[in-house]
Amino acid sequence: MKTIQITEPGRIRVIETSKPELKPAHILLKIRYVGFCGSDLNTFRGLNPLVRLPIIPGHEIGAVIESVGEDVPSDLKPGMNATVNPYTNCGNCPACRNGRHNSCEFNQTFGVQRDGAMSEYILVPWQKVIADNDISTRDFALVEPMSVGFHAVNRAEVTDMNTVMVIGCGMIGLGAIVRTVLRGARVIAVDVDDRKLELAKRLGAQYTVNSSQENLHEHIWEITDKNGADVIIEAVGRSETYLASISEAAFTGRVVYIGYAKEKIPFDTQYFVKKEVDVRGSRNAMPCDFKAVIEYMKRGTCPVEELITAIYPPEESQEALEKWVANPGEVSSILIEFS
């Protein structure tokens, strides 16, 4: 079967691999769409320390159930559209014992710590399959990254009384904006690309700031009556956005980091203490986050076509990532379509 593999930094090839054999308690999925995410981009650029090459990328999945093994619940049937919860959990580490399986110490995510889903077929335990024929396979490929944004909003404990600044309007940041709007909070979207900021407005952000052209602090100061934002959700992973998250947070505010910074960051730690800020990490997503995104998608109000920057066949995956590297600010989501 046709499979995409990142073999070395800057190099992708399409290879032939064996079709998985069905086994008990597992489901064979026919892949229709898989999204490239930021971790795949960093793998391609040679900047992902969690990855050992060569690797099959991809964990943003839209698929059809091809066949089911023995001991699979009867509500999961061949022909159903589906996506996959792409994380593993050990069940024994502190995170798992606390019920936060998304943060398992020994998690292995598709396309990161283990081979991913960019193949014509994949075999997964039935417990990881989420099926719903009211969602298209294309739209299912958007569910996982939006779920990561939804989870960050849960971590931030956002309420309708909050002003929330979301830094970064890629798919994960847009997911955070959607979830924040659904909770009735006021949203300030920050990015360096005006097209992404326009999309953030379409999704409900009341304010936008292009931080490459405007003074972020002055805008936040004006919008919040010189208080700062109650909640900051950082979905970029750069030194300047990590630092801005602390400086623009209100006293006793909450800062949630999703993005991985690639370098050490010199924080002025006095603000952690003076402001008594709550600083939290947000990793992956919980099953409830996937469910919430799917229910949102079913409303039919999500501008899905605008969230998808481009769709490529497997043979053009090298070109797809090269274009993303050349124009990182212009990409929301890139899908690979397996026909």
Region 302-327 average pLDDT: 95
d(CA 62, CA 144): 10
* Contact (CB, 8 A) for 97 and 115: no
Q: How many helices (H) and strands (E) in the chain? A: 12, 15
Q: pLDDT value at position 86?
A: 98
Q: pLDDT value at position 101?
A: 96
- pTM score of the predicted model: 0.96
Helix (H, G, I), strand (E, B) or coil at 338: coil
C-alpha 29: how far from its chain's center? 21
Residue listed under structure tokens 């404990």: 157
3-state helix, strand, coil split of the chain in percent (to 5) is: 35, 25, 40
Q: Which of 180-184, 267-271, 288-292, 327-331 has the lowest mean pLDDT?
A: 327-331
What proportion of the chain, given as a percentage, has pLDDT over 90? Answer: 95
* pLDDT of 131 over the 90 cut: yes
Average pLDDT, the chain: 96
* Contact (CB, 8 A) for 43 and 7: no
Per-residue tokens: 200: 């953030």
pLDDT tens by residue, 214-236: 999 999 999 999 999 999 999 99
d(CA 247, CA 257): 14
Cβ–Cβ contacts within 10 Å for residue 239, how many? 15
* pLDDT of 260 over the 90 cut: no
**Alpha-helical regions (H) of 157-303:** 171-182, 194-202, 216-223, 239-247, 270-274, 287-298
Per-residue tokens: 169: 């309007």
Q: Which residues of 192-201 are buried (b: 16+ CB within 10 A; e: fewer)?
A: bbeebbebbe
Q: CA torsion 24→135→152→329, rounded to 10°?
A: 120
Q: Which of 91-100, 148-157, 259-268, 288-297 has the lowest mean pLDDT?
A: 259-268
User: Which residues pair with residue 290 across a beta bridge?
Assistant: none
Per-residue tokens: 331: 């990409």
Region 285-313 average pLDDT: 96
* pLDDT of 329 over the 90 cut: no
Alpha-carbon distances, residue 50 vs 8, 56, 106, 117, 241 (angstroms):
14, 14, 12, 17, 22
pLDDT tens by residue, 238-252: 999 999 999 999 999
Strands 207-210 and 229-234: unpaired
Confidence of residue 263 (pLDDT cuts 50, 70, 90): confident
Helix (H, G, I), strand (E, B) or coil at 24: coil
* pLDDT of 84 over the 90 cut: yes
Q: pLDDT value at position 49?
A: 86
Q: pLDDT value at position 262?
A: 80
* pLDDT of 261 over the 90 cut: no
Q: pLDDT value at position 330?
A: 83
* pLDDT of 331 over the 90 cut: no
Confidence of residue 71 (pLDDT cuts 50, 70, 90): very high
Per-residue tokens: 12: 């992708």
d(CA 120, CA 87): 20
Confidence of residue 43 (pLDDT cuts 50, 70, 90): very high
Region 59-79 average pLDDT: 98
* Contact (CB, 8 A) for 174 and 308: no
**Residue 7, H or E segment:** strand 2-8
DSSP of 132-178: -TTS-HHHHTTHHHHHHHHHHHHHHT--TT-EEEEE--SHHHHHHHH
